[in-house]
Amino acid sequence: MSKVGLFTVFDILRMIPIDFETLLQSPVFGSAKYQEKCFKEENDLVKGEVMALMKRFSEQFRSRYPLLAFNPKLRGSMGEGTKCGFPNEYDYMLIMDKLSDRCLLNSIKECKANIAIPAFPPIRDEINPFEINLIINILMRRILLTHSIWEGLHLKFVSCERMNVGLCLNLVFNGHLYKLLHISIDLVPSIPLKIPVNVSIDWPVPVDFSKCQLYGLFRDGYDGLDLSSTDYEEVLLKSLPSAAIDAYVLGKAFSSAHFKWTGKRLAKVFRKSYTMKKALLISLQQHKIPQEVSRHEWINEIVSVASNMERYVKKNDCRRCIFHAEDSVRGEKDCINLSF
């Protein structure tokens, strides 16, 4: 049995004197699907405002910069339905299909993609992903700092900050229940890597990856792209039973800053959400009938796997990677091999 300091997993969980159902219903710690009707309605209102903003943003950006036109796709916990607490964090991939058509994938190494962009009007010379990332960030700011994009919305602009993989938009929402709700929206430009993918995975329930593709994410200071398998991760998460998803949300609650009385031990065990997600998915492989596993058992297994993650991380694989892409060079293989 895994241990954290002098405590076993079960010792730690026995320290939590709270009913899981009550925690899941909390607007501070829980999941939106278990909350009271008034909070569900407010959550829908906030999400609707964010979606309206993103639709307006994408339309104005496409109109002014058609080569860099993007389709905003909601990802992260709000997209997965695994958000813990307030509806205040949104992750959008800005999928740039037209730019992708101009890119040539040269190789993949250690879950990084190296591409070439032969021409980028009005720049005649070859341009690298780092330079394109700078251009995209500047152009996004131009749109986001115009008055017209905010007209008629309940969202108020606070700031726009640079991230390693895009921009973070900070806003404030005022509603009936949420007053001065601070919202962050991560805007992550990405390009589809249009190459066949073969997925190697031993999964206890049927999964369909036919509509999935890999993406490349721009990163500051790097001339290549981060590889993202978010489409494939979404398929796996949708295959999980509801008790497993609830355990994932509860794990986020335990590591929340609002959950002060847990001390530091659980925060160290649950670490970051992507580590918990990987631990949960690894745990699923150990069950022939995952639907029969309880929330409490899922939490035990998340803690056990997450506290011994070095046993499961592949060579040259980072802890953020759910899938591992096999190294490849253009012309040597017909497809990219992904393994879990």
Tell me the domain boundaries of the chain: 1-30+230-322, 34-196+214-226
Three-state SS string across 159-175, please?
EEEEECCEEEEEEEECC
Which amino acid, 179?
Answer: K
d(CA 196, CA 120): 25
Q: What is the pLDDT of residues 193-233, one digit of tens each?
A: 888 888 878 788 888 998 999 999 988 877 788 889 999 99
pLDDT tens track of the chain, all 340 residues? Answer: 444 443 454 455 555 555 788 888 888 888 988 999 999 999 999 999 999 999 999 999 999 999 899 999 999 999 988 998 999 999 999 999 998 888 888 888 877 888 877 666 655 556 777 788 888 999 999 999 998 999 999 999 999 999 989 999 999 999 889 888 999 999 999 999 888 888 878 788 888 998 999 999 988 877 788 889 999 999 999 989 999 999 999 888 877 776 654 455 555 666 677 788 888 888 888 787 888 888 888 988 888 887 777 777 665 555 567 888 888 887 777 778 888 7
Whole-model pTM: value is 0.87
Element containing residue 237 per DSSP (H, E): helix 230-238
Q: Quick one: three-class SS letters along the chain?
A: CCEECCEEHHHHHHCCCCCHHHHHHCCCCCCHHHCCHHHHHHHHHHHHHHHHHHHHHHHHHHHHCHHHCCEEEEEHHHHHCCCCCCCCEEEEEEECHHHHHCCEEEEEECCEEEEECCCECCECCCCCHHHHHHHHHHHHHHHHCCHHHHCCCCEEEEEEEEECCEEEEEEEECCCCCCCEEEEEEEEEEEEECCCEEEECCCCCCCCCCCCCEEEEECCCCCCEEEECHHHHHHHHHCCCHHHHHHHHHHHHHCCCCCHHHCCHHHHHHCCHHHHHHHHHHHHCCCCCHHHCCHHHHHHHHHHHHCCHHHCCCCCCCCCCCCEECCEEECCECCEEEEC
Beta-sheet strands, E only, within 76-196: 89-95, 104-109, 112-116, 155-163, 166-173, 181-193
Question: Phi/psi of residue 4, each to 5°?
Answer: -125, 105
CATH of 34-196+214-226, one of 2.60.120.680, 3.30.460.90, 3.90.600.10, 3.40.640.10: 3.30.460.90
Q: Count of CB atoms within 10 A of residue 300's CB?
A: 21
Element (H, E) at 72: strand 71-75
- Give the list of residues 6+ apart from residue 231 with CB closer than 8 angstroms, or none: 209, 211, 212, 213, 214, 215
Give residue-wise pLDDT tens across range 147-205. Answer: 899 999 999 999 999 998 999 999 999 988 988 899 999 999 999 988 888 887 878 88
Contact status, residue 252 vs residue 273, Cβ threshold 8 Å: yes
